[in-house]
Amino acid sequence: MTEIINSQPDMTVVGTAADPLVARDLIKVTHPDVLTLDVEMPRMDGLEFLEKLMRLRPMPVVMVSSLTERGSEIALRALELGAIDFVTKPRLGVRDGLLNYTELIAGKIRTAASARIIAARQPSAKAADVPQESLLRSPLLSTEKLIIIGASTGGTEAIREVLQPLPPDSPAVLIAQHMPGGFTKSFAQRLDSLCRIHVKEAEHGERVLPGYAYIAPGGFHLSLGRSGANYVAHLDQEPPVNRHRPSIDVLFDSAAKYAGKNAIGMLLTGMGKDGAEGLLRMRKAGAHTLAQDEASCVVFGMPREAIAIGAADEVAPLGEMCRRVLTHLRTFGERTNRV
> Annotated catalytic sites, by residue?
152, 178, 274
186-to-2, 34, 91, 196 alpha-carbon distances in Å: 30, 26, 19, 17
Residue partners of 230: CB distance under 8 A and separation at least 6: 207, 208
Strand, helix or coil for residue 171: coil
**Ordered alpha helix ranges (H), the chain:** 2-6, 20-30, 46-56, 69-81, 94-100, 102-114, 155-163, 184-194, 248-258, 276-284, 301-308, 318-338
Distance of CA 51 to the CA centre of its chain: 21
d(CA 323, CA 177): 21
Q: Which residues of 125-157 are buried (b: 16+ CB within 10 A; e: fewer)?
A: eebeebeeeebbeeeebeebbbbbbbbbbbbbb
Neighbours of 47 (CB within 10 A): 18
CA neighbor of 310 nearest in space, from 266, 279, 338, 269: 279
CA angle, residues 250, 256, 257, in degrees to nearest 5: 90
Decide if 321 contacts 290 (C-beta within 8 A): yes
β-sheet with 35-38: strand ranges across: 35-38, 61-66, 85-89
260 torsion bin: left (phi>0), alpha (psi -120 to 50), beta (else) = left
DSSP class of 140: -
Rounded to the nearest 5 degrees, what angle is found at the Cα of 138, between the Cα atoms of 134 and 139? 70
Rg (CA), the chain: 20
